[in-house]
Structure 1
Amino acid sequence: MDLDLATALADARTEYDKMVAGDWYRYRYGPELADLTTSTQRTCRRITALYDEDRAAAQAMFRELLGTVGEGVDFRPPFYLDYGHRLHVGDRTFLNADFLTLGGGEIRIGADVLIGPSVRLYTPTHVLDPELRPQGWERVSPITIEDGAWLGGSVVVCPGVTIGARSVVGAGSVVTKDVPPDVVVAGNPARVVRELPRA
């Protein structure tokens, strides 16, 4: 959907409120956005520094940072989040090192999910108009990773994508559209390469 500039400029809501609603907003405007990302990234660095010395304290900070965290969630630092409260992680999920979520779109990761190293979850899309793009217009779309999925190392998931339950995404894949349950996808863009036995 293209940006209606007149409507967007007339919108009196804060940039944060527009972001959360999934509407066009300017990520370079609104001090609340910069404050939130700066605070979140600072906390990510603190958790990383603390992890080797006091893992329990690092895990407690991690739980406070995220929107929701299930039981038995495990992670390996470093990791990088823009808005920690927009990330929700289900029971027994594992996040490997160098995990990154970008933008303020809501991200829901189910239970028993395996996230490989250097996985990137991107929720923002910038305006296509080359004259408007430098003004910082973007909108975010949610990402959902359903129960039991496995994302291999260096996978990129694009805005608005749902990865179905128990599906596997091959290392280095770029996922640009929804993945059904119980399949293996791979490539750039990721495509179904085989089906898995149904649960």
Structure 2
Amino acid sequence: MTHILRIDSSLKGEDSISRRLTGRIVARLAGAHPDARVTERDLSRGVPQIDAGWIGAVYTAPEARSADQASIADYSDRLLAEVKAADVLVIGLPVYNFGVPATLKSWIDHLARKGETFRYTQAGPEGLLKGKRAIIALSSDGTKLGSGVDFASGYVKHMLGFFGITEVEFVAADQMIFDAEGTIRAAEDRIESLAA
């Protein structure tokens, strides 16, 4: 059974283009795999930033955690468990000020845990979440995917690779300010061509 994890981060709710695209991607994948399980995580509701308390919590043995540490670690562990359980990650990436939304950055920070998603070896870092696929639905008003001012897509792709997820594809509705309808249509066509 295929397990799909859908991550949305846009603040625009029903008006969000990245949400529209992640919805279509999930529908395409689920249509090809009728037994697929879909887990949804909406980051726009807020994701706590990591801090010293987080470090103390997640790197303390579970049996030695205080009540506060257990609560902090439990939230972070749930995010991590969702990613570990998924075969495919479908991530909505609206470009905000040339970068990733703060909540998406915080989600990634929660996942960046030595011994869980990566480890250091003599040969350098090794990602521990191998064998997964990620499809990123990028939307932007003016930023072109892969351009010199796109600080979002490269970062997300790098971090996924750092975690061992190297099969990463982009569906882009970028530079919509110039031709929103045509750009969205091209992105939707791209979704229809994705291997399911």
Q: As a proportion of its length, which structure holds more strand?
A: 1
Q: TM > 0.5 between the two?
A: no
TM-score, with length taken from structure 2: 0.26
More helix by share: 2
Point out which structure has higher relative CO (alpha carbons under 8 A, 6+ apart): 2
